[in-house]
Amino acid sequence: MIIIPAIDIIGGRVVRLHQGDFTKEKFYSDDPVETALLWQKKGARFLHVVDLDGAKYGEVRNGEVIGRIIKAVDMKCEVGGGLRDEKDIAYFLEQGAERVVLGTKAFEDPDYLKKLVSMFGKKIVVSIDFAGERIVKKGWQEEMDMSPDEMIKKIQQAGVSTIVVTDIAMDGTLKGPNVEKMKKILSSVDISVIASGGISSLADIKKLKDIGSKNLEGVIIGRALYEGKINLEDAIKIS
Q: Whole-angstrom Cα distance, residue 128 to residue 107? A: 9
**Strand stretches in the chain, DSSP E:** 2-10, 13-18, 21-29, 46-51, 76-80, 99-102, 124-131, 134-137, 142-143, 162-167, 192-196, 216-221
Single out the catalytic residue among 51, 53, 88, 129: 129
Q: Whole-angstrom Cα distance, residue 239 to residue 223? A: 18
Continuous segment of H or E residues that includes residue 30: none
Q: Whole-angstrom Cα distance, residue 110 to residue 169? A: 26
Catalytic residue check, 129: yes
In degrees, rounded to 5, the angle at the alpha carbon of residue 55 between the alpha carbons of residues 31 and 128 is 115
Single out the catalytic residue among 8, 167, 171, 204: 8
The rounded radius of gyration (Å) of the Cα atoms in the chain is 16
User: Residue 35, SS3?
Assistant: helix
The answer to whether 229 and 13 have CB atoms below 8 angstroms apart is: no
Q: Active-site positions?
A: 8, 129
